[in-house]
Amino acid sequence: MTMKQERIECSKAGCRWTGVYSETSKIRNDDGISSACVCPKCGCNSFYELDEPIPSERVDHANELIKLIAIYGREFLSHEGTIAHIELGKGGKVFYVDAYTRRRVYTNREHVRWSGFSEGGTMQSLISHLKRYILEGTPIDKRLIANPGFYQDGGNIWGYDQREAEKLREQAFKLPMFDQ
């Protein structure tokens, strides 16, 4: 029997893990036969099937920036080899899929702490700016990316090593979301 590869989300409100059926855990009944798939985070056996994300060039740009942030410096927006990403859903809903919690986080609500978002406020602000870029085409301010002028000693708000921050900024500013 082949497992479905549909995108799914755990139906338990406190979990909302997102993945595909092949990533779920299998439980066996008393006869040793696999009888259900359960969420690897909470053990729930109820899932919602998710629509495929809407393709968008701006979403691709945002995800490229997220990948760059995940490989440089302190490797924000990643966890144990998993890199976060952004998806565009129906009706202009922008979701951030968190690398640690594996939850789809609804980003259209601003000025509130997002449930399931494992990063801090600085990263949440950046993701909000990425959401605006995706929906409206609003350019991203270069100062949001490991700003070297934030501290007098040349450090940055992200706590990145100066060389790592420079490498990240050099690569990131090649993306079309930044004013050239």
Would you state the structure tokens that stand for residue 92, as one six-digit string?
């202009």
In a domain, 2, yes or no: no
The C-alpha angle 140, 144, 147, rounded to 5 degrees, equals 140
Same domain, 91 and 113: yes
SS3 content of the chain, % helix, strand, coil (to 5): 30, 20, 50
In a domain, 119, yes or no: yes
Q: At residue 25, what are phi and psi to the nearest 5 degrees?
A: -95, 150
> What three-state secondary structure class fits 164?
helix
Same domain, 68 and 97: yes
Cα R_g (the chain), whole angstroms = 19
Same domain, 42 and 62: no
First-to-last alpha carbon distance for the chain, in angstroms, is: 52
Beta bridge partners of 86: 96
Domain that holds residue 132: 57-172
Same domain, 42 and 78: no
Q: Indicate yes or no: pTM above 0.75.
A: yes
Q: 């691709």: which residue's tokens?
A: 60
Q: What is the pLDDT along the chain (180 residues), one digit of tens a residue?
A: 344 468 898 888 888 888 888 888 766 555 555 557 888 888 888 888 988 889 999 999 999 999 999 999 899 999 999 999 999 998 899 999 999 999 999 998 877 888 889 998 889 999 999 999 999 999 999 999 988 776 666 678 888 888 899 999 999 999 999 976
In a domain, 89, yes or no: yes
In a domain, 180, yes or no: no
